[in-house]
Structure 1
Amino acid sequence: MRPVDLARAVAVSQQAVRNYEEAGILPPATRLANGYRRYSELHLAALEAFVALVSAIGHGPAREIMVAFNMGETTRALEALDRAHAQLLVDRDAVRMLDDTLGHVHQDPPPSIRYCSLSAGELARRLGVTTTALRGWERAGVLSPMRDKSGHRRYGRQDVHDAELAHLLRRANYRLDQIAAVIRETRAAGGSAEAHRAVRAWAQRINQNSRSLLTASAALSAYLTHQESQR
């Protein structure tokens, strides 16, 4: 098929098809005597898999997976796919923990954060962010840690709760000023309604992402079947 045919099949531009081939996302096209590209069902399967992966996990991880498979680096490709599944589990655990925490805002906190007193580095490692990010959250009013006698930041139980919630909302593309407003509400008596809505909306988004990744995995499997049949 011609570049225009492949592009139309998945609703992308011809330039995008050429870019994907140059990036290694698609296998090399056959060249005719006049230099024109010709694509096959193999290329269509690759493009469908890539588009589905982008919808599920974003352009960067999708590119990594496709390039690795096309280079014959199966282990690297599967590890990248495993990381995407693992991240969804991490997000689900965070949602459950936060929803439970918000449901007991006036009661004892969950055991996992009941007796916390963490340094900036410890909290950053717990969340998988940088200490620079934590300082940015502090400037935005999201966090307000105490200082020890040496002037170092210490994050107590409430700070860890706030940081967990902030991290989740950042992954849901909330702005820092929006997150700060949610945090203020959760700190106020009876003010967790907005936070509940945000967390539950993210739980629904995780389900959507899981379904998208399932669809993408099926498309990727179909591509690999095409690929193996031509060896």
Structure 2
Amino acid sequence: MSEYLKPSEIADELGISTSSLRHYESWGAVPAPDRGSNGYRLYTQVHLAYFRCLRAMFPGFGVGVTCDVLRSIQQGDVDTAFWMVNKIQAELYQEKQAADQTLGLLQEIELPSLPHQKLKSRMTIGEAAKYAGVAASAIRHWEKEGLLQSERHPENGYRLFTPADIRKILLIRTLRSTVYFLKSMKEIIHALDRQHVEQAKKLTEDAIRTIHERIRHQFTGVHQLVQLCQLLELI
């Protein structure tokens, strides 16, 4: 192989078009190559390593983070790049924990018993909030979002929550801080509304499989990132 690589050679190896290479370059994710006397780009093995890394990181980290990481690498700031990667992996770990807790709640027939807190057949919003460990204002917000629909006391109109409602509140509390589950939370909760617990379990299990796929993609991307840094003698 010659000292320089043709755009078509890199594109063929990565299974993409040469226009994609130009897009990645315009994003600042790959160093601008030198130009020949004819104006053609003169890519090197370093450029190939950047392109490989970028393509490997996209599925696990997304376009935005990947480009930010590679811009930091170009500046020689490997620590910032690695911490950005670590942050995304930590967020995925939180989602995995939430998914596991959700599946556990769906598989448990009985709600967890909590010290000094008794589960009643009908609970006020204050009692429900205390049992679930959330603010009453949060429960009201989730009702407005269409995630909950409580009964009303026939005389005073106050909200009344059943054990089934408490289970939903516990699920929402578990899922609310995750990025992925915010997209499918309503599906899971509405499946419970229709008494389709098995469907809610399947949705959660599908989400867990997606999380497993993403962690594998992330480590594939990290592997290419480390190889790029070694080539650049940054580590």
Matching residue within 208, 213, 222 for 2:227: 222
* 2:201 aligned residue: 196
Give the counterpart letter for 1:215 in structure 2.
Answer: T
Q: Runs in 1 of length 4+ with deviation above 6 angstroms?
A: none
- Please state how far the C-alpha of 1:146 moved relative to its aligned partner: 9.0
1:79 is the counterpart of 2:96: no
Taking the aligned partners of 1:110 and 1:176, their CA distance within structure 2 comes to 25
Contact 1:102 1:196 in 2 (8 A): yes
Contact 2:7 2:43 in 1 (8 A): yes
Matching residue within 165, 169, 172 for 1:163: 172
Q: Secondary structure at the match of 2:38?
A: coil
Larger radius of gyration between Structure 1 and Structure 2: 2
Alpha carbon RMSD of aligned pairs, Å? 3.4
- Please state how far the C-alpha of 1:114 moved relative to its aligned partner: 4.0
Taking the aligned partners of 1:193 and 1:142, their CA distance within structure 2 comes to 19
- Please state how far the C-alpha of 1:73 moved relative to its aligned partner: 2.3
Q: Secondary structure at the match of 2:232?
A: helix
* 2:46 aligned residue: 42
Give the counterpart letter for 1:26 in structure 2.
Answer: V
Q: 1:54-87: per-residue Cα shift (whole Å, max 9, x none)?
A: 0112111111111111122222211110012101
In the superposition, the TM-score normalised over structure 1's length comes to 0.74
Taking the aligned partners of 1:110 and 1:46, their CA distance within structure 2 comes to 53
* 2:26 aligned residue: 22
Q: Give unpaired runs (5+ residues) of structure 1.
A: 124-133
1:212 is the counterpart of 2:217: yes
Q: Secondary structure at the match of 1:228?
A: coil
Contact 2:134 2:173 in 1 (8 A): no
* 1:99 aligned residue: 103
* 1:52 aligned residue: 56
Q: 1:93-139: per-residue Cα shift (whole Å, max 9, x none)?
A: 1012111111224333688x944241556x8xxxxxxxxxx95x645
Q: Secondary structure at the match of 1:58?
A: helix
Distance change in 2, residues 1:209/1:163 (3 Å): same
Contact 1:4 1:14 in 2 (8 A): yes
Taking the aligned partners of 2:186 and 2:134, their CA distance within structure 1 comes to 25
Distance change in 2, residues 1:28/1:86 (3 Å): same
Contact 2:29 2:67 in 1 (8 A): yes
Contact 1:116 1:157 in 2 (8 A): no
Give the counterpart letter for 1:160 in structure 2.
Answer: I
Give the counterpart letter for 1:85 in structure 2.
Answer: Q
Matching residue within 193, 217, 221 for 1:184: 193
Distance change in 2, residues 1:181/1:115 (3 Å): closer
